[in-house]
């Protein structure tokens, strides 16, 4: 489980809410794994998380552009790399090549918490939020 706490807060109300939603979606997925949910249900949960991450990243990139954040390009690459990796997990899962496991959860969990606290925080600092 990934617990939201103040350490993740960037003081941008919309983005903080989106980050909380990502946490919730990851926890739902984790819950699904622990409950032994069906392959279809797990696929649905991971797809939901992936689609929401895409929307969140787009919103964030628009925001970074609006504040002329100099690290935008590098940050976009980080987002892209995550989406590629998460899509790969999803594709493998629906093609029956991989059972979505705690390893996948741990990758997503580690990536999200690290990304918010080190990468996202940079634009918050730049914008003096």
List of residues contacting Fe ion (CB under 5 A)? 60, 120
Find out whether 11 and 124 touch, Cβ atoms under 8 Å.
yes
In angstroms, rounded to a whole number, what is the distance separating the alpha carbons of residues 97 and 67?
A: 43
Q: Between 17 and 99, name the residue whose CB sits nearer to Fe ion.
A: 17
1: Cβ contacts below 8 Å, ≥ 6 apart: 27, 30
Name the residue nearer to Fe ion (CB basis): 60 or 105. Answer: 60
Q: How far apart are CA 97 and CA 50, in angstroms?
A: 19
Q: Which is nearer to Fe ion, 23 or 42 (CB)?
A: 23
To the nearest whole angstrom, how small is the minimum distance from the Cβ of residue 39 to Fe ion? Answer: 29
| Ramachandran quadrant class, 128 (left: phi over 0; alpha: psi -120 to 50; beta: rest) | left
Least Å distance, CB 64 to Fe ion, is: 8
Of the candidates 114, 105, 119, the residue with the CA atom closest to the CA atom of residue 49 = 105
33 or 72: CB nearest Fe ion: 72
Q: Indicate the residue whose CB is closest to Fe ion.
A: 120
- Shortest distance, position 106 Cβ to Fe ion, whole Å: 19
Residue 117 C-beta: closest distance to Fe ion, Å: 10
């Amino acid at each position: 489980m990934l617990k939201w706490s103040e350490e993740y807060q960037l003081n941008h109300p919309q983005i903080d809410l989106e980050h909380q939603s990502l946490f919730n979606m990851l926890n739902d997925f984790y819950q699904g794994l622990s409950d032994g949910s069906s392959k279809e249900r797990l696929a649905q949960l991971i797809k939901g998380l992936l689609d929401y991450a895409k929307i969140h990243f787009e919103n964030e990139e628009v925001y970074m552009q609006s504040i002329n954040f100099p690290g935008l390009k590098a940050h976009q690459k980080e987002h892209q790399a995550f989406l590629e990796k998460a899509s790969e997990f999803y594709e493998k899962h629906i093609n029956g090549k991989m059972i979505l496991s705690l390893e996948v959860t741990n990758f997503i969990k580690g990536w999200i918490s690290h990304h918010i606290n080190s990468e996202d925080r940079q634009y918050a600092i730049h914008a003096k939020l």
